[in-house]
């Protein structure tokens, strides 16, 4: 395989190193804007597209632009594309999967969800035989690191976030992680593949952890509950529910015990039932290894994306119901069932109802925090 690699950052440098150790993978070009001091370096993306011998382009630059234009150009030039860029694939899902199909080339992004975990390839495999009923999990290591440290070591949100940044888990601008958008992109990709649908990211309800306080965490602890940022999607009676929310789990639940920056993702299927995948959700070598595994899959005959059909399906979060811990200065009288620390526990309400309430309340109280009390659907 002759590879054109785009991006020589954390993941790109790892991919380069792993590919160099193999006889069946040759990296011919490495595109980066910085001078990177390797013989394959180029700043001309066209070098990768114009070289007929390059059969596979790996995109690990990140961001939407010019990643989208470069990936589209690579597919149009008849190259297979492997990427770890969840933001890109979630945003241009229809365009890129259709283009790959039209060009009859492979388009793979296993490292985009779960970093080093072979989650998307496992979903691809299970859905051949049985319908996926639901998927759920911790899909972001940065927020799990923050929540674990707040609960176990009594750190404030700000200190836990600074530690995550110092360790390289969180970016300088951590918004995409702490506001749940990174998880939303991963959930969208997983749900699209699991359910054979194409979801609109704008329809997915997302609650983040930006506003969680140490007092909130104490309130949960005193009730033997642990807060985790969970992504969940399920199909029931023809409806598709898809949402991201801080969720209060019993301390003894498996998901509650996931430490530091690890991920735990589970699918639930018609025959197999629940199956969970646990491991490093980010980091140079786990993620780069998954990118290289995608290339090896191509060598062993994989020729397409993970799913074929992609019907536009509307998200309906009115079918997902929870009681919520709700802390806000906005009026909660109509929703409250009981007082919980600085907040209230609401009566059962749907994710859609809570999203509508929170959207309005945010105007008055930007520090509002909500967390769902886990139930079984």
CB 325 within 8 A of CB 216: yes
CB-based burial of residue 128 (10 Å sphere; 0-12 exposed, 13-18 middle, 19+ buried)? Answer: exposed
Part of the chain binding ligand NAP (CB under 6 A), chosen from 57-65, 145-153, 191-199, 350-358: 57-65
- Based on the shown chain and the rule CB under 6 A, indicate whether residue 84 belongs to the binding site for ligand NAP: yes
- Based on the shown chain and the rule CB under 6 A, indicate whether residue 279 belongs to the binding site for ligand NAP: no
Q: Which of 283, 313, 335, 343 binds ligand NAP (CB under 6 A)?
A: 283
Instruction: Name the residue with the smallest CB distance to ligand NAP.
Output: 9
Q: How far apart are CA 377 and CA 374, in angstroms?
A: 9
Q: Which of 90, 78, 74, 302 is nearest to 200 (CA)?
A: 90
Whichever of 27 and 256 has its CB closer to ligand NAP, that residue is 27
| Residue 186: active-site member | yes
- Based on the shown chain and the rule CB under 6 A, indicate whether residue 31 belongs to the binding site for ligand NAP: yes
Site size for ligand NAP (CB under 6 A): 23
> What is the closest distance, in whole angstroms, from the C-beta atom of residue 84 to ligand NAP in the complex?
4
> What is the closest distance, in whole angstroms, from the C-beta atom of residue 86 to ligand NAP in the complex?
6
User: For 301, left (φ over 0), alpha (ψ -120 to 50), or beta?
Assistant: left
- Based on the shown chain and the rule CB under 6 A, indicate whether residue 68 belongs to the binding site for ligand NAP: no
> What is the closest distance, in whole angstroms, from the C-beta atom of residue 24 to ligand NAP in the complex?
23
CB 332 within 8 A of CB 344: yes
The DSSP letter of residue 135 is: E
Part of the chain binding ligand NAP (CB under 6 A), chosen from 2-10, 48-56, 126-134, 306-314: 2-10
Catalytic: which of 79, 186, 228, 374?
A: 186
Strand partners, 321: 350
User: What are the Cα distances from residue 247, in Å, to 6, 256, 263, 305, 352?
Assistant: 37, 10, 15, 32, 15
The tokens for 300 are 């062993």
> What is the closest distance, in whole angstroms, from the C-beta atom of residue 66 to ligand NAP in the complex?
5
Residues 6 or more apart whose Cβ sits within 8 Å of residue 257 = none
Q: Which of 254, 232, 215 is nearest to 317 (CA)?
A: 232
Q: Which of 190, 266, 287, 323 binds ligand NAP (CB under 6 A)?
A: 287
- Based on the shown chain and the rule CB under 6 A, indicate whether residue 7 belongs to the binding site for ligand NAP: yes
Whichever of 31 and 194 has its CB closer to ligand NAP, that residue is 31
The residue behind tokens 């954390």 is: 10
- Which positions are catalytic? 186
Q: Which residues bind ligand NAP (CB under 6 A)?
A: 7-12, 31-34, 60-62, 66, 84-86, 111-112, 115, 282-283, 287
């Amino acid at each position: 395989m002759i590879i054109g690699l785009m991006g020589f950052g954390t993941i790109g440098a790892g991919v380069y190193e792993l590919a160099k150790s193999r006889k069946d993978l040759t990296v011919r070009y490495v595109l980066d804007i910085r001078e990177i001091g390797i013989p394959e370096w180029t700043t001309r993306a066209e070098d990768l597209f114009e070289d007929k011998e390059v059969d596979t382009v790996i995109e690990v630059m990140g961001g939407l632009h010019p990643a989208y234009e470069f990936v589209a150009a690579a597919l149009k030039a008849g190259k297979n594309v492997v990427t770890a860029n969840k933001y890109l694939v979630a945003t241009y899902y229809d365009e890129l999967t259709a283009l790959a199909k039209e060009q009859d080339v492979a388009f793979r992004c296993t490292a985009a969800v779960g970093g080093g975990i072979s989650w998307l390839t496992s979903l691809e495999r299970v859905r051949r035989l049985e319908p996926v009923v639901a998927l759920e999990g911790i899909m972001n290591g940065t927020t799990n690191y923050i929540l674990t440290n707040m609960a176990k070591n009594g750190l404030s949100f700000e200190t836990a976030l600074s530690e995550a940044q110092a360790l390289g888990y969180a970016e300088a601008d951590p918004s995409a992680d702490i506001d749940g958008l990174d998880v939303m992109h991963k959930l969208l990709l997983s749900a699209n593949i699991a359910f054979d649908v194409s979801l609109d990211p704008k329809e997915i309800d997302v609650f983040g952890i930006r506003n969680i306080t140490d007092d909130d965490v104490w309130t949960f602890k005193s009730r033997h509950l642990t807060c985790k940022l969970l992504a969940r999607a399920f199909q029931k009676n023809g409806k598709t529910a898809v949402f991201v929310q801080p969720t209060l789990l019993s301390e003894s639940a498996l998901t509650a015990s996931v430490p530091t920056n690890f991920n735990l993702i589970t699918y639930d299927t018609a025959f197999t039932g629940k199956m969970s995948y646990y491991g490093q959700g980010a980091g140079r070598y786990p993620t780069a290894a998954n990118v290289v595994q995608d290339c090896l899959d191509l060598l062993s005959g994989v020729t397409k994306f993970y799913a074929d059909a992609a019907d536009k399906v509307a998200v309906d979060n009115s079918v997902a119901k929870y009681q919520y811990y709700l802390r806000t200065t906005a009026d909660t009288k109509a929703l409250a069932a009981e007082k919980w620390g600085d907040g209230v526990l609401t009566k059962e309400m749907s994710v859609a109802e809570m999203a509508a309430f929170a959207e309005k309340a945010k105007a008055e109280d930007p520090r509002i925090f909500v967390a769902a009390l886990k139930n079984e659907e």
